[in-house]
A and B are shown apart, each in its own frame.
Chain A
Amino acid sequence: MKVALFVTCVNDLVFPGTGRAVVQVLERLGHTVEFPVEQGCCGQMHANSGYREEALPLVANFVKTFDGYDAVVGPSGSCVAMVRDWYPKLVPDATEVVARTYELSELLVDVLGVTDVGATFPHRVTYHPTCHGLRLLHLGDRPRRLLESVRDLELLDLPGAEECCGFGGTFSVKNAGVSGAMLADKCRSIVDTGAEYVAAVDNSCLAHIGGGLSRTSGPAKAIHYAEILAATS
């Protein structure tokens, strides 16, 4: 299958390793990955912050760039949720590209029918289901099933997993105090599991969680689950 990678702007600039990991996983499974270079930002930050007019050209660019691909995969729950939740309201004629845009675990489990992607990751990992992945995309246990199939990985339950980490886009700076209080509770839960890594489907939440974890004394680090799925040793 030919899959177009929608890497997302945050990953392009700050977490390119996540994009490379998606390429590795899909190619290992025998699929062809394309990277349409016209792509930019999906417009989520603008739309969620009340800048719909400023989001529209970004939305139009996404639709134009990815129109015609069999499948578009984005390693970000919130960016894919932006496409699925918002695009039908903003560009009603973009239904086809919206229907073919998947978060990585949806593409792997639902479209390609795979849960074992041939990865090995000999570490203790806990999984944080991000809000948009959980409540907008309804990813359910797909990411967990993928992680459970990784060789030598010990998956630890995260207490209060479904509680928001406190990132919330511009909320993290507009209400930094509350965001920090939520983060502190999330970090404590993660550290208490004894995990070496906390995995999630969204690097924006993970940047926030990882930034909090690096101020704790524990060993836990944030990692995008695609990078675990790409690991082979």
Chain B
Amino acid sequence: MSGGNIVARRPFPAAAREELGDAQLRANLRKATHTIRDKRLRVVGEVPDWEALRQSGAAIKDDVLSRLPELLEEFEATATAAGATVHWARDAAEACAVVTQLVRDTGATEVVKVKSMATQEIGLNEALEAAGIDAVETDLAELIVQLADDTPSHILVPAIHYNRSQIREIFTRNGLSALTDDPPALAEAARRHLRAKFLSARVGISGANFAVAESGALVVVESEGNGRMCLTLPETLISVVGIEKILPTFRDLEVFLQLLPRSSTGERMNPYTSLWTGVTPGDGPQTVHIVLVDNGRTETLADDVGRQALRCIRCSACLNVCPVYERVGGHAYGSVYPGPIGAILSPQMSGEGANRTLPYASTLCGACYDACPVQINIPEVLVHLRQTGPHPVAERAAMRALSWAMRDRRRYTAALRAARRGAAPVRWVAGRRGTVRHLPWPLSRWTSTRDAPLPAKQTFREWWATERGQA
């Protein structure tokens, strides 16, 4: 059972076509993804044991996944002993209900939020709004998206689809005055807006990058320090955490705190890493809740090939190197998890809606696998999901016919000859260029964007038979 903002409403090709029409979007994405891509390459290149680190990251995560129930129980015990209250949620709706009730119990009508994928996934802001509670996003990019009444289009940089003059416009519309569209001016406007919220908020809501089983500690990795404000100032802190975020020991952070910043922001180290363990009397939030969310993860874990997607640490390196993501942006994927990782994560967490079209949203170019800090073989999982998903009837028939024809020498030779002969009149039409500009449906899907080549006048095997007297 699962739900929330991980179900694509429209098939990927249709959604992508619409996004492709937005020239400004493509220019923004190209500039941003190439900038982060180059930064990542530089800082990864300076680590001599990067490949060993990736292997360690993958191995630690695989170990966690192989004994997840036991580690989760250990985490519950240690976190509880440290003064936190642990809640369990099977799906998005349950998680939202738990958090909403916890906020209601405090009597607060406004909460401040740390940037979090888990709360985006479960649709928490919408649920809180329905309960009359204002959820204020405090991450700069999430704030931009929230003020624009939009949805995030990137895991790390939710407002990647906007440039700075568009951001200034959004701010101005919402009464945040920025004198220019210089990044410092925009940041200052957001700072003034948020400072008042931090000081008055009684409840903070976060996710967590890691949850340490041996101690019950949670870890949030961020750049701005706004997260640190939310984690320390309010009286009550509620953290929504996917069950795969567990790490066995504190020592394991050594690997991930090297892998994550270099892969995500292209920095050697992120500016703020916050760790907290339950309640510390007289310091920070005195009421601490942790909501552990499944929402389709257990089903993903059950798949031998697909479970590697649960190693993901949400760095978004795969998005930044993906040529498909670069052209269409995150909204085309219809889920809070876009790009290559989204194309394998969303359909595994939920088979609903148009999620089945996502495994085809890739050329299998492999750039994502090379970039992944925990070695998720995304192309392998994409093909696996194509294998296990439903196939169009006509396509299956064509694939079967081709396989039947090509497995036997006589049938294969006859098929090649038939294709060559069938192309003869087309070749006459094609004339000297030798390629075809328009073909009827379904081949028009090829000629919509490029000319089609024609079968040669003589196949290779015919040439060989003539020249070498065989076949």
Contacts and interface: CB of A to CB of B under 8 A. Distances in A.
B296 to A, nearest CB: 21
B407 A57 contact: yes
Contacts of A132: 366
A178 interface: yes
Contact of A58 (B403, B442, B464): B403
Contact of B454 (A14, A45, A163, A212): A14
Interface string B372-405: 0000000000010111110100011001101100
Contacts of A48: 364, 383, 386
A218 interface: no
Nearest to A208: B450
Nearest to B30: A185
A214 B327 contact: no
A69 interface: no
Contact of B460 (A7, A54, A136): A7
A131 B365 contact: yes
Q: Give the most central of B323, B407, B449, B470: most A CB within 10 Å.
A: B449
Interface in A146-200: 162-164, 166-183
B327 A182 contact: yes
Contacts of B363: 131, 164, 166-169, 171, 179, 182
Given A58-B407, A177-B13, A135 B453 contact: no
Nearest to A65: B409
A132 B451 CA distance: 23
Contacts of B253: none
A176 B449 contact: yes
A175 B407 CA distance: 28
Contacts of A19: 460, 463-464
Nearest to A173: B445
Contact of A20 (B362, B396, B407, B463): B463
Nearest to B34: A160
Given A11-B460, A54-B400, A211 B451 contact: yes
Given A16-B458, A50-B383, A166-B363, A55 B403 contact: yes
Interface string A36-58: 01101101011111111011011
A52 to B, nearest CB: 6
Interface stretch (B135-143, B223-231, B284-292, B412-420): B412-420
Nearest to B392: A174
Contacts of A172: 446
A94 interface: no
A181 B327 contact: yes
A35 B407 contact: no
B323 to A, nearest CB: 5
A74 B88 CA distance: 55
B249 interface: no
Nearest to B433: A214
A35 B470 contact: yes
A32 to B, nearest CB: 11
A15 B454 CA distance: 9
A52 B12 CA distance: 24
Contact of A49 (B386, B388, B451, B463): B386
A16 B13 contact: no
Contacts of B385: 50
Classify the interface of chain A: helix, strand, loop or mixed: helix
A39 B389 CA distance: 30
Contacts of A47: 383
A13 B365 contact: no
Contacts of A163: 323, 367
Interface string B430-470: 00010100000010011011111111101111111000101
Contacts of A134: 366
A20 B460 contact: yes
B53 interface: no
Contacts of A115: none
B406 A210 contact: no
A51 B403 contact: yes
A40 B412 contact: yes
A136 to B, nearest CB: 6
Given A13-B459, A171-B360, A176 B383 contact: no
Contacts of A50: 359, 383, 385-389, 391
Contacts of B396: 51
Contacts of A20: 460, 463
B102 interface: no
Contacts of A180: 448-450
Interface string A47-78: 11111101101101100000000000000000
B189 interface: no
A93 B150 CA distance: 54
Contacts of A168: 362-365
B403 A46 contact: yes
Nearest to B419: A13
A46 B407 CA distance: 12
A227 interface: no
B17 interface: yes
Contacts of B133: none
Q: Give the most central of A17, A19, A173, A210: most B CB within 10 Å.
A: A173
A82 to B, nearest CB: 11
Contact of B470 (A11, A37, A45): A37
19 contacts: A9-B406, A11-B460, A13-B455, A14-B453, A16-B458, A37-B464, A51-B387, A52-B387, A57-B407, A60-B407, A61-B408, A173-B446, A175-B12, A180-B449, A182-B327, A183-B450, A210-B435, A210-B453, A214-B435
Q: Which 7 A-B pairs have the closest CB atoms?
A: A168-B363, A50-B386, A180-B449, A211-B450, A164-B365, A16-B460, A135-B366
Interface of A: 7, 9, 11-17, 19-20, 35, 37-38, 40-41, 43, 45-52, 54-55, 57-58, 60-61, 131-132, 134-136, 162-164, 166-183, 207-208, 210-212, 214-215
Interface of B: 12-13, 16-17, 20, 26, 323-324, 327-328, 359-367, 369-370, 383, 385-389, 391, 395-396, 399-400, 402-403, 406-409, 412, 416, 419-420, 433, 435, 442, 445-446, 448-456, 458-464, 468, 470-471
Given A48-B364, A211-B450, A211-B453, 11 more contacts: A20-B463, A35-B464, A37-B471, A40-B406, A61-B408, A132-B366, A164-B363, A172-B446, A181-B20, A183-B449, A212-B449
